[in-house]
Amino acid sequence: MADAAAVSAAAHAGLDAPQTIVVIGGGQAAGWVVKTLRKEGFAGRLVMIADEIHLPYERPPLSKAVLAGEADIDTVRLVKPDDFTALNVEAWQPDCATSIDRDARIVRTQSGREVHYDRLVIATGGAARKLPASIVTTAHVAYLRTLDEAVALGERLRKSERVLVIGGGWIGLEVAATARKLGVAATVVEGAPRVCARSVPPAISSFLLNLHQTNGVDVRLNAALVSLDDHPTDANRVRATLADGTTLDADFAVAGIGLTPHTSLAEAAGVAVADGIVVDHFGATEDPRIFACGDVANHPSAWLKRRVRLESWANAQNQAIVTAKALLGTFEPYAEIPWFWSDQYDVNLQILGDIPTDAELAVRGDLSAKRATLFHVENGTIRGVIAINSARDLKIARKWMNQGRAVDLATLTDASTALA
């Protein structure tokens, strides 16, 4: 990491200190960039270009508290309006950057404005992946990515009796859990043989499946969607047809089938893109004046020992902080252990580190009692943890993982003795 810092510092050594920094994007990563820049003493011009009208906010509550009607913009803001005003940021909202002229160092926007930059941060995040137009003929399908979408979806849920959720990943399951909390019947359609198949081992998929079925969700696995249409006798409802001929009716559908990163602006400018904008340990692209962070950035993970694009609250915040410091010449490598969490019903599930989907997990506690910690151990050290209502165990495991501490499987799995 020290070598990486030296290389990056050398690449940026010939550049003048920035007078104008432009941030494209207005989400959590963008918010942390502007907050950190001011905290680190940057007193120059700071422009944030965002297509949403709202100031930066956190996204995890959207599929939970906001969707349930228990939270609104005032509770999810990253920065209160008065505090944001104090940051002295030119917030071009709502607007959208349409081009980056790297030679002239100018960003142009949809409204016709342009700004010259000394440093540029692309924190454009992504958009909810859409169902193929070839199979969707109804307008009664919703997606969940923005605050306004969450508010509108929550209002519709509270007026409905049954919702159809397309996708058995994290967003789909959280929407289904919130629907059930609101007393709305929910059916989840997942094309894979298990839920969250791309991110967790089978034991956790089975746990999640049982959790949702116990709470009344109708989960259809190995279910390929072939069409989503208006209901034949009620144009205000929907009918889904599956590959086996099964039809499912609902008041409306919600699709949670992944995220498409907003990389087109970078690609058009000739910035390297490979499942996200390619950056180094400090958020820097090959262009020493352009950086990227958050959901849109593909970075080398020291923990995973591979490149990765992470879609998580922790990554959006912590990578943005590292990037902001690098903009000002302080190169501190981003080397966080990946961390993700999900709240569903009475379960808080947290994932830390690297857990292959075929990993054999050492279990501490009782999954059936919804209190357990599962460890992925390699060569005597913890590489990954899944904590189910066991935040204390995860906190201790994080410390041991950062230390590279050797562990004993018998101790890890002995729930009668506290980890210490």
Task: Find the angle CA(206)-CA(208)-CA(214) to the nearest 5 degrees.
Answer: 100
Contacts with 16 (C-beta within 8 Å, 6 or more apart), sequence order = 118
Tokens of 257: 């089938």
SS3 233: coil
Q: What does the block give as tokens for 372?
A: 């357990």
Cα–Cα distance, 243 to 224 (Å, whole number): 5
DSSP state of 146: S
Number of domain units in the chain: 3
Instruction: Please check whether residue 333 lies inside any domain of the structure.
Output: no
3 state SS of 187: strand
Q: What is the CATH number of the domain that holds 15?
A: 3.50.50.60
Q: What is the DSSP string of 252-279?
A: EEEE---EEE--HHHHHTT--BSSSEE-
In degrees rounded to 5, what are phi and psi of residue 172?
-60, -45
Which of 208, 223, 255 represents a domain boundary (last residue)? Answer: 255
Domain residue limits at 303 = 2-127+259-327
Determine, yes or no, domain membership for 334: no
376: Cβ contacts below 8 Å, ≥ 6 apart: 353, 354, 355, 356, 359, 360, 361, 362, 382, 383, 384, 385
The CATH number for 377's domain is: 3.30.390.30
Considering the domain architecture, whether residues 105 and 62 belong to the same structural domain is answered as yes
What is the structure's pLDDT at 107?
98
The pair phi, psi for residue 89, each rounded to 5°, is: -105, 130
Q: In the numeric block, which tokens belong to residue 176?
A: 């289904």
Is residue 244 within 8 Å of 258, Cβ to Cβ? Answer: no
Instruction: Report if pTM > 0.85.
Output: yes
Instruction: Give the helix/strand (H/E) hosting 30.
Output: helix 28-39
Identify the pLDDT of residue 15.
87
Amino acid at 156: R
C-beta of residue 352 within 8 angstroms of C-beta of residue 376: no
Same domain, 274 and 390: no
Q: What is the dihedral of CA 225, 135, 148, 66, to 10 degrees?
A: -10
Interhelix angle 170-181/202-214, nearest 10 degrees: 20
- Judge whether 338 lies within some domain: no
Averages of pLDDT over each 10 residues, the chain, 420 residues: 62 83 98 98 98 93 90 90 96 98 98 98 97 96 95 95 98 97 98 96 97 98 97 96 97 96 98 98 97 98 94 96 97 95 97 94 96 96 97 96 94 88
- Sign, CA dihedral 356-317-40-122, equals positive
Residues 386 and 363 both lie in one domain: yes
Query: Which of 125, 205, 207 is CA-nearest to residue 168?
Result: 205
Residue 187 lies in a domain: yes
